[in-house]
Amino acid sequence: MTAPGIAHLTSALVALALGAIVVLEHKGTPTHRLIGAGYVLAMLVANGTALYHFRLTGRFGPFHALALVSLATIAQGVLAALRRRDRWLHTHYYCMAWS
């Protein structure tokens, strides 16, 4: 397995674990924010390495499209929480659940 492959697998497993924890944690606490930040970082690495694998195949496939969708939902979910505009909580929950 290549170094990007190991980084992808590791970050995806970390994101799965942190995502499960953040869903079960009390919302809005410093712990929720810290674990959520770890989740976002792990997802950024997982999606970045997924997009890097384009170089292996030379083709844009369905998993690359899903990585782009995931990046978009993460960005929208984080921005909603940071800006806290109208219906921000709904947007944050929805986007992070789909990320």
Q: What spatial distance separates the first Cα and last Cα of the chain, rounded to whole Å?
A: 26
Mean pLDDT of 11-33: 95
Helix (H) or strand (E) holding 8: helix 3-24
pLDDT of residue 74: 98
Are the beta carbons of 42 and 32 closer than 8 angstroms? Answer: no
What is the average pLDDT score of the chain? Answer: 93
pLDDT of residue 53: 81
Give the start-to-end residue ranges of the domains of the chain. Answer: 3-98
- Residue 90: φ, ψ to 5°: -60, -45
Mean pLDDT of 18-22: 96
Helices (H), the chain: 3-24, 30-52, 54-57, 62-83, 88-98
